[in-house]
Amino acid sequence: MTDYCSYEDFGRDFFRIAVTEERVLAAINVLAGEPIDFGPIGVGPGRVAKASAKGRLRPASIDRIDGEHVCFRVVLPVDLRLTVDLQLDTQRFDTHLDVPLELTARARSGCTVFIEALAPRAEQIHVQLKADGLRASLLQRAAGIDDELRRFVASYVTRELAKPAVQAARTIDVARAIDSSWRPA
């Protein structure tokens, strides 16, 4: 007995089998351990203060989102050493961020799968900031460094996701994969 199904059912099964939590997480975790180094960039009124950060991405976590599409919520943990140079004084902060992304596998013409990535809004980014000393702690409160960092990271992630190389990395050419593995008898 042959167990045929509709093309629609086949496509739905294909996505659920091909785009798994394990595969998505493995692709993302290639970045784990990669250094982060930015700045100095102007911050605050008149952009007189300069902020810079050095750190690393840690391994991500992933959860499937139930629904019509193959969709995941990924959390990228980031550890940074943040430095704010106020020209007269320099303050330092140890920072941990959890940056959420929503990833959805989409079908495109030409037998291509695209992993759509929804960048987080600033308020979705979890920030833990530990100031080095009383002055840094006062600066953290007075300048709203937590909120500034959330806004910067949300904007940065949005720009990164729009880059052509990142778009290409989220594109899976299924036809090419089939062609490369096809071995006629």
Task: Write out pLDDT tens, residues 13-70.
Answer: 888 888 889 988 888 888 777 888 888 887 767 777 788 889 998 999 999 999 888 9
Could you give all domains of the chain from N- to C-terminal order, each with its CATH number? 7-179 (3.15.10)
Q: Residue 83: enclosing H or E segment and its boundaries?
A: strand 71-85
pLDDT tens for 141-171 read 766 778 888 888 898 889 888 988 888 888 8
Q: What is the DSSP string of 117-161?
A: EEPPPGGGSEEEEEESSHHHHHHHHHHTHHHHHHHHHHHHHHHHH
What is the band of 136 on the pLDDT scale with cuts at 50, 70, 90?
Answer: low
Residue 118 phi/psi, 5-degree rounding, is: -95, 115
User: pTM (2 decimals)?
Assistant: 0.82
Contacts of the segment 131-138: beta carbons below 8 A, 24+ positions apart:
131/91, 131/92, 131/93, 132/91, 132/92, 132/93, 132/94, 133/91, 135/89, 135/91, 136/84, 136/91, 136/92, 136/93
List, for residues 168-177, the tens digit of each pLDDT value.
888 888 888 8
